[in-house]
Every structure is written in C-alpha cells, then in structure tokens.
Amino acid sequence: MKRIAIILITIFLFIGISIRIWYVNKTVNLPPIDTFQMEKEVAIEEDIFLDDFENMDGYTVTVNQAEILPYQDFLAKYNYNDDENDPLFQKDNIFYPEMVYDLQLTIKNTNDTDDLTQHSGINFINYQLIGTDFLMQINDQLYSIANPELEAGMTEGFRLRPESEMDFNLPFFFAPSTNVLPIQTEAVLHDQVYLVVSLHPTVKRILIE
C-alpha cells in the first residue's frame, strides 16, 4: 500500500511539473524576428541588444561579403606577418582561431544631426554569428588585424558623423579541433547562420550566405 502511495505521489508530481513547464512556455512572449538578406541595408531604429540606454537609432547595417578562411589565409589576406617566436596565438591555446568567418559590412549613420549622448552609436562587442546549435564571437586581436586603420578596439563603441558611412571587417572565429565547444566547418557550411544586429524589442538578423 505504501509503495502504491509513493508511485501515485510521484505521478502527480510529474504531472504538476509538466503542467507548470507547459504554462510557463505558453505565457512567454518571444520577441518578433525580422530576417534580412546580405546586401540589404538594415535599419536598427529603436531596437537594442541588452540595455535601455543603448541608442542605435538612425544607424544601418549592410553585410556586403562573407567568407570562411583558415587562420593562416586570414593573416595573408590582411598582409599580417605573424612572429614565429612570439605568435598572436599558441596552437595549444583553447582560443586558437583555426578558422575565421570574415564579414565585410558597411555601417551608416543616416541622422542629419550629431547625437553626443554617451551610449549612442554602434558597439561590435554585442555582435555574434548564430547557428542552430553554435555561436561565434569576434576576436579583438583579429579585429585589429582586419581593421589596421582603426585606433579603437572591437570592445569600444563608436559614433559616425551624421550622414556618413564606413566599412568594417568583422572576424568571427571557431575551432573544429578544440576540446572546448568545437564547431565543425561542415556544420557551419550546411547550417543557416545569422548575424544578429539587435535583440529587443525586435530581433533583427541577417542571413549570411
């Protein structure tokens, strides 16, 4: 009798938890998602990533080109000579960028007046490439190699002059042979990969092809 009671209690607990999970999922309001193609100018408008004080209104993002390169080919593309005695990355480092997904994009400020508030403009630190079950981030050292004319690093936000635009190269990295969250090149090539340029109140993403 005692065993039957325990079984019944377990069943009721399982049913209760299942109903609770269903209810929570049912009541969650997910933000709408707008998907754009490459070479399409995407207006950020009043959308943000994380913080209410972000202000990217008036800025647009256009992804012009994208290619996947082995790390050494990436260095050659930007005419960077790595020091064999003091390389940027040691091959046994878990952050060694075996492969680079290199994006060339244009940021434009369509505003006709300058916004001098502290958090206006764009910050690439929030940019990620998102696949079905993986994500890639920009590496600051690779960013400096791909944008040698820039004084500011990837982690620093920037503002453009009103009615001006500028091209940037964004190097997202991944490592197929790492022991920590490896990403296979074939998985990237056969997946739909998106550059996310805002999260709230609308997710805006660009399909990278």
Report the DSSP beta bridge partners of residue 166.
107
pLDDT digits (tens, 9 = 90+) for 146-163: 999 998 777 788 899 999
What's the mean pLDDT when you consider all of the chain? 86
Q: CA torsion 54→60→66→72, rounded to 10°?
A: -50
Q: What is the DSSP letter of 159?
A: -
Report the DSSP beta bridge partners of residue 102.
67, 171
Cα separation, 201 vs 117, in Å, equals: 21
- For residue 7, the SS3 value is helix
Structure tokens that stand for 198 in this block: 């805002």
Range(s) of the domain holding residue 49: 34-208
The pTM for the full model equals 0.83
C-alpha distance across the termini of the chain, in Å: 63
**How many domains does the chain contain in total?**
2
The whole-number pLDDT of residue 155 equals 78
> Are 17 and 68 in the same domain?
no
> Are 92 and 138 in the same domain?
yes
More confidently predicted of 145 and 95: 145
Query: What is the band of 120 on the pLDDT scale with cuts at 50, 70, 90?
Result: confident
The whole-number pLDDT of residue 152 equals 75
CATH code, domain with 122: 2.60.40
pLDDT digits (tens, 9 = 90+) for 5-23: 444 444 444 444 444 444 4
pLDDT digits (tens, 9 = 90+) for 36-61: 999 999 999 999 998 878 899 999 99
pLDDT at 125 over 80: yes
> Are 149 and 182 in the same domain?
yes
| Cβ-based neighbours of 80, under 8 Å, separated by 6 or more | 145
Query: What is the band of 194 on the pLDDT scale with cuts at 50, 70, 90?
Result: very high
> Are 102 and 196 in the same domain?
yes
The whole-number pLDDT of residue 21 equals 41
